[in-house]
């Protein structure tokens, strides 16, 4: 089943999809006009409503966007196009909700919560930024990490590593970080940015400049490489 994406059913399980869809869209706009990120909303929310919600979202809720969007609609709908969010506990709700990346039933269930919260936030906002800040909890815009500045020496080393391998494993990065005495995370980000730069610098047709063996995925054991592990 589910292979039947023709007409948008506007009612499922006694839930008015149209309405939810509408609300999700509006919600995003409202969120943006308060200058809040999904993360902020998510955190504030789970602080306010208890973490009960963010939990259930994670497991279940298969991606049932077909309930809400017809294929072609999805294309046009700039607000809610593709993707399944990164799973960040607090962030989960608003993110998935805005994407309508949940079952109609759950959506229906969260809607009033979001509505209530947003109304409150807006009220606070109107009555002064200070109040909003206070409402959404700690930092309204949690401050940026202080920009690291690498010493020329460190840069040299980083670059030489990069030339040898653009995708160092998590292990390698840890080592590099240790050797240079920078935060591992900082090193990780450096590689991300460096790859990005590389990509921009390499005009269209060009083959990836010299750096040989792209991703030697010669899986050396502890190659959990990816970024997730914190």
Q: How far is the CB of 96 from a second copy (least distance, A)?
A: 14
Which neighbouring-strand residues pair with 15?
A: 12
Q: How far is the CB of 98 from a second copy (least distance, A)?
A: 8
DSSP string, 133-197: HHHT-S-TTPPPPPPP---HHHHHHHHHHHHH-SS--HHHHHHHHHHHT--HHHHHHHHHHHHHH
What's the maximum distance between 2 C-alpha atoms anywhere in the chain?
A: 65
Number of residues that bind a second copy (CB under 8 A): 48
Tell which positions 175-194 bind a second copy, by CB under 8 A: 182-183, 186
55 binds a second copy, rule: CB under 8 A: no
Is residue 11 classed as helix, strand or coil in its secondary structure?
A: strand
Is residue 117 classed as helix, strand or coil in its secondary structure?
A: helix
Among 75, 81, 159, 216, binds DNA (CB under 7 A): 81
Among 52, 143, 160, 230, binds a second copy (CB under 8 A): 143
81 binds a second copy, rule: CB under 8 A: no
73 binds a second copy, rule: CB under 8 A: no
66 binds, among DNA, a second copy, none (CB under 5 to 8 A by kind): a second copy
Q: Are 214 and 208 in contact (CB under 8 A)?
A: yes
Buried b (16+ CB within 10 A) or exposed e, 48-74: ebeeebbeebeeebeebbebbbeeeeb
127 binds, among DNA, a second copy, none (CB under 5 to 8 A by kind): none
Contact set with DNA (CB under 7 A): 37-39, 51-57, 59-60, 62-63, 65, 81-86, 88, 91-95, 98-99, 101, 103, 105-106, 109, 142, 144-150, 155, 167, 170, 186, 188-190, 192-197, 199, 225-228
């Amino acid at each position: 089943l589910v292979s039947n994406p023709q007409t948008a059913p506007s009612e499922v399980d006694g839930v008015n999809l149209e309405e939810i869809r509408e609300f999700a869209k509006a919600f995003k706009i409202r969120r943006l006009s308060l200058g809040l990120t999904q993360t902020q909303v998510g955190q504030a929310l789970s602080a306010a409503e208890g973490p009960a919600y963010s939990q259930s979202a994670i497991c279940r809720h298969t991606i049932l966007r077909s309930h809400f969007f017809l294929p072609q609609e999805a294309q046009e709908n700039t607000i809610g196009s593709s993707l399944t969010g990164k799973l960040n506990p607090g962030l989960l709700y608003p993110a998935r909700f805005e994407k309508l990346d949940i079952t109609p039933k759950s959506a229906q269930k969260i809607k009033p919560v979001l509505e209530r919260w947003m109304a409150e936030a807006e009220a606070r906002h109107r009555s002064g930024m200070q109040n909003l800040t206070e409402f959404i909890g700690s930092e309204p815009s949690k401050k940026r990490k202080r920009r690291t500045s690498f010493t020329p020496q460190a840069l040299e080393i980083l670059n030489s590593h990069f030339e040898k391998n653009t995708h160092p494993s998590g292990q390698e990065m840890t080592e590099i970080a240790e050797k240079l005495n920078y935060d591992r995370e900082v090193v990780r980000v450096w590689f991300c940015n460096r790859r990005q730069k590389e990509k921009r610098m390499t005009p269209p047709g060009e083959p990836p400049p010299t750096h040989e063996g792209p991703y030697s995925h010669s899986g050396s054991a502890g190659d959990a490489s990816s970024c997730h592990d914190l």
